[in-house]
Structure 1
Amino acid sequence: MLQTLHRVTILGPRLSFGSRPFSVSSILRANRAVVYTQTGDPSQVLTTVTYDALPSPAPDTLNIRFLLAPINPADINVVQGVYPAKPSLTSLVEGHEVFVGGNEGLAEVVQVGTGVSGLTSGDWVVMTKAQAGTWASSRNVRPQDVLRLPRADGLTEVHGATMTVNPPTAYNMLNDFVTLEKDEWVMQNGANSAVGQAVIQIAASRGLKTLNLVRQRPDLDDLTRKLKALGATKVLTYDDLADRALTKTIVKDWTAGKGIRLGLNCVSGKDTTAMARLLGDDAYLVSYGAMSKEPLSLPTSLFIFKNLTTAGFWQSRWYKTHTREDKENLMRTLVDLVSQGKLKEPEHEILSIGAEESDEAAGQKIRDIITKMSAGQYGKKVLLRFEGAQ
């Protein structure tokens, strides 16, 4: 008995379907990918397609199977066409060029082509090429676009899938701008974000103290307990910053009068302006996001009288400007933190796409969760898994 496999036809921003016969056993082992043909509203342009098994890898390439791939806010921005990094078209779907979603993910090496050294079947790898198209069950890639992830006690698939964006961002911001000694303070906003939680843990592993700013919320006490369990020293809300005299007194008391020399910003707007006033002399304010969608505005006096330095950080640029050895060292450092119990899995939810689900049902499931994420209805990291892929 035959069932129907949908064949892709490109018609504008969405994909429409013809059909051809396909066996039940093949459907249960089909490869899948989340694709789009032009940028726009993810609920309108994203769809899921089935594609054939990969052929044996050509020389100097390898075939990988993705185990988990995050759906990050930046990934949604890429689909919307409002993010600086752009994906490349691929002919993954026979006869058509499409964009495959996803930038980050953990994959397993399935087959290695001739001429590839340092990688073997069964190795775990992460992507070092930006916008590699990780929302797929399998891909053929160049060895220079992946990095082998060292196996270690306590290292889970979730750790691996989330290892190349948030923890490196936290680690590099803590190391690349100011040389901080034990018991010095770091201040950050967006402290409950994935990067913020990584900052807390990595700072704590180095004996640094953190002042963490979050928005006021009904469950503030629960959030504060959660952040302190990760290693946060102090937690304040943006509303607390409104009382400048009180805040300065409290912070001065906490830091024993020693100025805070590093501030990390992912919010911008007026809350970051208030936060910057708490920095000490010769401090750095490093921005890696602007969740408020407001500009960063700082008093000129901070530059004149406190010698404030401002800088931006983008992990994608770091990967472009650093050597493979630098990247390998960074991964080893982060894996070591995991194995020492100093870097936990992010709070997460796994979105599994069953092998028996139709492409349309799978696409609708993904569109629905991205719509909820875009509306701020998800506090957990969402990780995509395709079941039954070959």
Structure 2
Amino acid sequence: MSMLFAAAGGEAIGQKAYGPGVSDTEIVIGQTAPYSGPASALSRIHKSEVSYFEYLNAKGGISGRKVRLLSYDDGFSPPKAFEQVRRLVEQDEVAAVFSLLGTAINISVRQYLNGKKVPQLFTAAQSSSLADPQRYPYTMGLLPTLRSEGVFYGKHIVATKPRGKIAVIYQNDDFGKDLVGGLKEGLGSQREGQVDSQPFEVTVPTVENQVAALAASRPEVLLIFAYPKHTAQAIRKVHEMGWKPTIYMFSGSGSISSTIKPAGVEASTGVLRAAFFKDPTDPRWKDDPEMKEWLEYSKQYTPDADVSDYLNSSAIAFAKVLEQVLRQCGDNLTRENILKQAQSLHDFPLPLGLPGAVVNTSETNYEPVKFMELQRFDGSTWVPVEQ
């Protein structure tokens, strides 16, 4: 049986009940994506998601219904995203909004979507503020929160570098601040005071000045909490300066094609990150049936995508988890039941996830995946770090 693309079980049986965006033949889902703007490198996530549902529809869809994913450009601009999300809800009448990228984007539409009781599922953003079921029950992420990731790095630094200065360059918004908050929590009160930080605005063309300012005191550890473009700039500048700190980077910027190659392979060797997904470049998965199946799928449905880039493969996880939720809905495809089923995932293996990465949700658990593995770039691929 196909592992990655098998029809998931657990479909509910009962009377048909449809909400907006659903008919006997179709389920309409919506999203916005940064097809233009400063985060455009990450739009490949959404292109892969669109392609997956095209693949799924060619196989018959979900219980005979085609899933139509409407994907509009938001330019990575919260005001534009809000305008496009309103279009999706009020004109297109989507059943749910799915996989919006970026903390600021998701926060900008969260109150509106919760007010309209439209599920905002599996955000492509890891802010801990997006895991708040009491205040925003219709908004749910998928991956470990940024705060959890920051804590993860802080604890590793304490264990491996018990002394010495720590430098952080971070995006000056909720995304960057969440990671920094988690880092300080993980470091604890004794080490928190040893952190020197430099914020930057997402719109700046370069972060070289911030890196130079941090390098002045030659800290032993540098954490880069940024998206691929600025992460690559920072790694390259550190290398050019001859500064040799231990570098940790945000998990979502670990793409070899979007970050490592632009930064330079030599400059990037030794960099650390948290990971939850199998990386297509990792020889551990050369004979893995799930990875082999994804590679075959990619050749047919995303032939222009770089198969070595885990952003393309990880996008399948978001799409597959949404597929599972829709299958669990059976013929009760109201917005209320879509949310209920999203809250009812139990030990569902994260598609293309590392061993141990499973999806669990409830009405009070909105951090579906908690598993993280520390990895190091060894000059050709990401390899696990013994802890």
**TM-score past 0.5 threshold:** no
Task: Give the structure with the larger helix fraction.
Answer: 2
State the TM-score, normalized to the length of structure 2.
Answer: 0.31
Larger radius of gyration: 1
